Amino acid sequence: MMAVVNVWGFIMLTLSSWSCAAGCTWMKTQNRASLSSFQVLSSSSIFHLEQACKDSVHSHDTLSMEFPHKQYNLIHQLQAQDHILFILRTLKSIRRIYIKKYEKVDCDQRELQIFLLDVDRQILELEQCEKNILATNVQKRISKKMDLHFRSLVSRLKSTDYSTEGWNELAGVVLKHLRRLDLLATKTKSDLQD
């Protein structure tokens, strides 16, 4: 009897977390062809970071910093609720890098502030979607690896003594992240529409 109750409890919890992710209007649209609110702001954040740090836009193909392609490929195979958590945590990691030291970045400060405002808005909206989503074990493992990745980026930046070159290289990696998150958001939107 207790096992049946536990199974039903698990099923209800799963359905509730799925419906919460499905109810995330920030990530979906009425029309499949249009962009979600997330994607509109994502495009804006990419544009403003590109404008802020123009040197990094052209040099990001030859980065010495590692990029976590494997984690993006793994998360892409999971469900929409996992995507939402992954996107949220990645954006929070990006914000943490810039939040205390961005005034020292040799970039257009106004554009950089707009970029950070865009990221903050994305985080704020995704936190509303996240409230009732439970992270899967796979998602937790991916998050740990992403945390290590972002720590290595900060460590690399520190090792360059927060130089212009270090910030430009970092901006190149962040742009790669933003573009991959945008692609993931497209899949999330599609999954939520089905």
18 pLDDT more than 70 = no
List, for residues 71-110, the tens digit of each pLDDT value. Answer: 999 999 999 999 999 999 999 999 999 886 767 677 888 9
190 or 81, greater pLDDT: 81
Are 52 and 102 in contact by the 8 Å Cβ rule? The answer is no
pLDDT at site 107: 82
Q: Are 98 and 109 a contacting pair, CB within 8 Å?
A: no
* Phi, psi torsion values for 175, nearest 5 degrees: -60, -40
Which residue range forms the structural domain that includes residue 27? 2-193
- Nearest by Cα to 175 from 64, 45, 68, 77: 45
Per-residue pLDDT reduced to its tens digit, 29-62: 656 667 888 889 999 999 999 998 876 555 545 5
Question: What pLDDT was estimated at residue 31?
Answer: 62
Q: Lowest mean pLDDT of 10-19, 147-156, 179-188, name the range.
A: 10-19
Q: How far is it, in rounded angstroms, from Cα 58 to Cα 171?
A: 11
Quote the number of domains for the chain.
1
pLDDT band at 176 (very low <50, low <70, confident <90, very high): very high
Distance between CA atoms of residues 167 and 165, nearest Å: 6
Distances (CA, A) of 50 to 36, 100, 170: 21, 20, 12
Summarize the confidence of residues 150-176 as an average pLDDT: 89
Task: Find the CATH number of the domain harbouring 34.
Answer: 1.20.1250.10
Reduced to 3 states (helix: H, G, I; strand: E, B; else coil), residue 113 is helix
Residue 119, pLDDT score: 96
The predicted pLDDT at position 30 comes to: 58
Pull the structure tokens for residue 3.
């096992």
What phi and psi values does residue 67 have, to the nearest 5 degrees? Answer: -125, 135
At 54-65, the pLDDT tens digits run 765 555 455 567
To the nearest whole number, what is the mean pLDDT of the chain?
81
